[in-house]
Amino acid sequence: MDNGDLEGGGGDLAFHGKGGRKYSPVGAHDRAVLEMSSMDPGSSSDSKSCVRKNNAGTVGNLDSDGREGSNPENGGANGPYQEHKLELFGFDSLVSILGLKSMTGEQAPALSSPRDGEDVSITSGQPKPSAVKMGTMMGVFVPCLQSILGIIYYIRFSWIVGMGGIGDALLLVSLCGLCTFLTGISLSAIATNGAMKGGGPYYLIGRALGPEVGVSIGLCFFLGNAVAGALYVLGAVETFLKALPSAGIFTETTTKVNGTVSEPIQSITGVTGLSLESFKDNWSSDYKNTNSAGIPDAEGNVHWNFHALVGLFFPAVTGIMAGSNRSASLEDTQRSIPIGTLAATLTTTGLYLVSVLLFGAVATRDKLLTDRLLTATIAWPFPAIIHIGIILSTLGAALQSLTGAPRLLAAISNDDILPVLNYFKVAEGSEPYMATLFTAFICMGCVIIGNLDLITPTVTMFFLLCYSGVNLSCFLLDLLDAPSWRPRWKFHHWSFSLLGASLCIVIMFLISWSFTVVSLALASLIYYYVSIKGKAGDWGDGFKSAYFQLALRSLRSLGANQVHPKNWYPIPLIFCRPWGKLPENVPCHPKLADFANCMKKKGRGMSIFINILDGDYHERAEDAKAACKQLDTYINYKNCEGVAEIVVAPNMSEGFRGVVQTMGLGNLKPNIVVMRYPEIWRRENLKEIPGRFVGIINDCIVANKAVVIVKGLDEWPNEYQRQYGTIDLYWIVRDGGLMLLLSQLLLTKESFESCKIQVFCIAEEDTDAEGLKADVKKFLYDLRMQAEVFVIAIKSWDVQPENGSQPDESKEAFTAAQQRVADYLAEIKETAKKEGTPLMADGKPVIVNEQQVEKFLYTTLKLNSTILRYSRMAAVVLVSLPPPPVSHPAYCYMEYMDLLVDNLPRLLMVRGYRRDVVTLFT
């Protein structure tokens, strides 16, 4: 292996392994090296190749998950693949069935060429009988109608009219009906914006607001449907016992629904028939106290008002999702869901409004408040019709809940977001038996309890929470108006969805603020659990589009002007390419991300991790994709907010020069270049490193980027290794306050929070030390920075230090560096003399002033010895990075830097840029 291979080993070797070969870790003993060295880029689904290469005119079979299967040319299950007649430069026809099916993730059937006149069905593998799909009437309208016309209408609605009066009852029905109608419009818009799988509102909300919100609201909606089935069963039982009191097991049988106890049917006294007088008497409200059975009682402990009636009545309008819950069983979801849902909503709302007028006109107020089954009392020709109708209707609604809720739970499980729900997964087209059993268990438990006083309001909240999610989903999608938002249902607007969501929230608080808080808390806990334990699912939800729009708006608002120091954030460009080798499958030094996190306050800020692969872009494009995925895995493993970028270039110098010019957008460009100091260049005899290292620094200076070079990266502490001592700053040149700001950011991390800052000002011998110290203290005080200030006066830089004034190790390093520089200069002079050319180094002419070289060596020696004298035990040292001298060989500059960092275990060399990053003003 030549020197170039050694230098680029980290960039090349890290991404050329096939099959998971392992190398022993080199350098740092971080556990990330050991763990990441065993990572195989092909082991995860995210590491699959993004580009598949196929022969022209042939396409591999895809299984149900979209993975490549057997090649049809080799004789798959479907026989040889037929070539398409329509091709364009070797690409298959865009209208091929295979292409269209692959867009929706469905299994693609093999194409066949039937003879003329033959009717041949296209199948894949063994023919599978398709399930019978339902239309609008039986698939959506009837289920919604059954669910909406529930027990509340039959045995509580007349009582509501008597308590609130005709006027408030009309307002109540209109408010609740408007809420569900607006939700139905939002549901129709989302359901017609593409193919819809099983899961109903969960599928819509999850794909619009993300998996976390979708799962949290979906599980709450499942629980609401499951317990609602118990409510319908209890209503049917109550009606049955009223019709046949002798069927009761106990002597006195009462059943509580919504906090009230049923009473025996009164006589027909109080029924006036259609009477204008009764209509006038019942128009206004007459809210009063009642006993637990709902009978008016001045000393009753239950007080009724409009808010309480909303809570009692709203379950009578729920059920609009019954059709969308069966979306997997519908023949045409985009047609059936809007028509069926809105038709059922309008039909039931109109029935409720007419019923308010009829109930208010046919009986006195006392009759309305005392006869819970007034609908049966006034029925023609006999009450049994209503009894039978109530029982059949409520049992039908219960069955709707017991069929819709399991499918909802199965849809949530099939998305594989929460591993705990894997028990309820079902194959496509199969019945969710486990989910049905679980739903029935919940329903039976609530039926056995028999008292839904505490459960029913929460169930209502779950329905309202789901409706809010549907409205907010449509509002977000309609407001963002992404190119993919093209619903077939055109009668919608974001204002309708916003009004519907607002109504849902208002009704929730009208019913009960305490139950609202409980339901929101439960949904929040599920959301938090999903965000921690759930698997990542990228569904292209509306929040991603919102983030994109917000990013564009924020980028435009920043403009092209420089960011004010008060709003300045470090955006480090982390140069991952190491000066040496790393284990295979380890894309970056494991401590670089730890250091990048130390440059952020409370984790806020973005880091860009960049790596450069040598070679031709067309030849190494696939390697770059694999390398990017590996680097992204490393960033996520280190919990660092950042993005990974891989650049293919002929060599590292050209690649970095292009990166430093083009990386970023507007003011969101990296402003600090962070890289590791090449400590091994002399030990490994990597003679090309000095030229590349100096070239990178010069490129950063020209591009006006700050530079931070880390020496001792192997010993850099992680977040669990607490440091003690001091953070010492050697402030030599003005850097815009970058060194001071970095020291303050280090203090915000747990590993350095126990340290103190010391500022050492290096001054000439004749400088007013006390005056300089006072000025620096005042400056730091105005910057709100706590630090101890020291002024160190050093004699003229041109005078060689006296014996005994420097540590022994510094003198040894100085002598060795002096000899190496002399040998190098003699070598390039001899080469120039032999070839008859000007003095050349690094492929360009140089001018060597040997006295100036000696001066720089002495200066570096004095600074190194000063740091060793005062900061040998410091937790970390920050020193100003001297710029490379003009026309000096890069080898000489590396000798200066080696002498500067000698015997210092942990050092940051910092160079600011032409602007301030801190300010004195508020």
pLDDT tens per residue, range 635-679: 888 888 888 899 999 988 899 999 988 887 777 788 889 999 988
* In contact, 660 and 705? CB cutoff 8 Å: yes
Measured between alpha carbons, how far is 368 from 389 in angstroms, rounded to an integer?
20
Neighbours of 343 (CB within 10 A): 17
What's residue 452's pLDDT? 52
| Residue 394 · residue 236 · CB < 8 Å | yes
Instruction: State how far the Cα of 308 lies from the Cα of 312, in Å rounded to an integer.
Output: 6
Strand partners, 306: none
Among residues 447, 74, 542, the alpha carbon closest in space to that of 238 is found at 447
DSSP per-residue string spanning 463-486: HHHHHHHHHHHHHHHHHH--TT--
Residues 6+ apart with CB under 8 A from 914: 704, 736
Low-confidence ranges of the chain (pLDDT < 70): 1-131, 196, 198, 245-266, 268, 450-456, 458, 534-542, 558-567, 580-584, 602-604, 766, 795-808, 918-922
- Residue 160 β-bridge partners: none
- CA max distance for the chain: 128
Give yes or no for a contact between 880 and 737, defined as CB atoms under 8 angstroms apart. Answer: no
Burial of 271: CB neighbours in 10 Å, binned 0-12, 13-18, 19+ = middle
* CA–CA dist 845, 895 (Å, integer): 19
Q: Residues with Cβ < 8 Å from 195, sequence gap 6 or more?
A: 104, 333
Q: Hey, CA dihedral for 654, 657, 660, 663, is it positive or negative?
A: negative
**Could you tell me how far CA 772 lies from the centroid of its own chain?**
51
What are the residue ranges of helices labelled H in 244-301?
A: 276-281
Nearest Cα residue to 461 out of 315, 351, 577: 315
DSSP 8-state symbol, 106: P
CA distance linking residue 329 with residue 778, whole number of Å: 75
How far lies 640's CA from each of 557, 559, 602, 610, 738, in Å? 26, 27, 11, 14, 22
Query: What is the token pair recorded at 15?
Result: 């991404």
CA atoms within 13 A on the CB side of 918: 21
pLDDT in tens, 205-223: 887 777 888 888 888 888 8
**Which candidate, 386, 488, 396, places its Cα nearest to that of 144?**
396
Number of helices and strands (H, E) in the chain?
30, 16
Pairing mode, strands 256-257 and 642-649: unpaired
Q: How many CB atoms lie within 10 A of CB 701?
A: 16
Helix, strand, or coil here: 700?
helix
**Amino acid identity at 149:** L
> d(Cα 304, Cα 309) in Å, to the nearest integer?
7
With beta carbons less than 8 A apart as the criterion, state whether 698 and 660 touch: no
Residues 6 or more apart in contact with residue 128 via CB below 8 angstroms = none
CA–CA dist 94, 117 (Å, integer) = 25
**What is the structure's pLDDT at 129?**
53
Contact 575, 656 (CB under 8 A): yes
Q: Residues 172, 178, 184, 185: what is their CA dihedral angle, to the nearest 10 degrees? A: 180
What lies within 8 Å, CB to CB, of 890 at 6+ separation is 690, 691, 693, 694, 695, 841, 842, 884
Structure tokens at 654: 């050209």
Question: Can you say whether the dihedral through the CA atoms of 731, 733, 735, 736 is positive or negative?
Answer: positive
- Residue 752: both structure tokens together: 């350095």
- At 302 the pLDDT is 82
∠ CA(402), CA(403), CA(408), 5° rounding?
Answer: 100
Burial class for 39, CB neighbours closer than 10 Å (0-12, 13-18, 19+): buried
Q: Which of 689, 447, 710, 507 is nearest to 598 (CA)?
A: 710
Q: Which is nearest to 191 in space by CA: 410, 475, 488? A: 488
In sequence order, the 6+-apart residues with CB closer than 8 A to the CB of 219 are: 412, 526
d(Cα 921, Cα 285) in Å, to the nearest integer? 64
Among residues 91, 97, 20, 78, the alpha carbon closest in space to that of 52 is found at 91
The residue with tokens 């002007």 is 561
In DSSP notation, 20-65 reads -------S---HHHHHHTT--TTSSGGGS-S-----TT----B-TT
Residue 783, helix vs strand vs coil: coil
Token pair in block for residue 216: 């949290």
The DSSP 8-state label assigned to residue 104 in this structure reads T
Domains, the chain, ranges and CATH? 136-246+271-533 (1.20.1740.10), 564-711 (3.40.50.620), 730-921 (no CATH)
Instruction: Label residue 78 left, alpha or beta by phi (over 0 means left) and psi (-120 to 50 means alpha).
Output: alpha
Quick check: 857 and 848 in contact, CB under 8 A?
no
Q: What is the pLDDT of residue 801?
A: 52
Q: How far is CA 212 from CA 36, 544, 640, in A?
A: 29, 13, 22
Q: Is the CB of residue 724 less than 8 Å from the CB of residue 754?
A: yes
CA 527 to CA 521: how far, in whole Å?
10
The answer to pTM > 0.75 is no
Residues 172, 161: Cα–Cα separation, whole Å = 10
pLDDT at 835: 85
Q: Which residues pair with 271 in a beta bridge?
A: 363
Strand segments (E) across 138-239: none
In this prediction, residue 198 carries a pLDDT of 66
As a three-state string, the secondary structure of 580-624 is CCCCCCCCCCHHHHHHHHHCCECCECCEEEEEEEECCHHHHHHHH
The residue length of the chain stands at 922
Cα 515 to Cα 220: distance, rounded to the nearest angstrom: 13
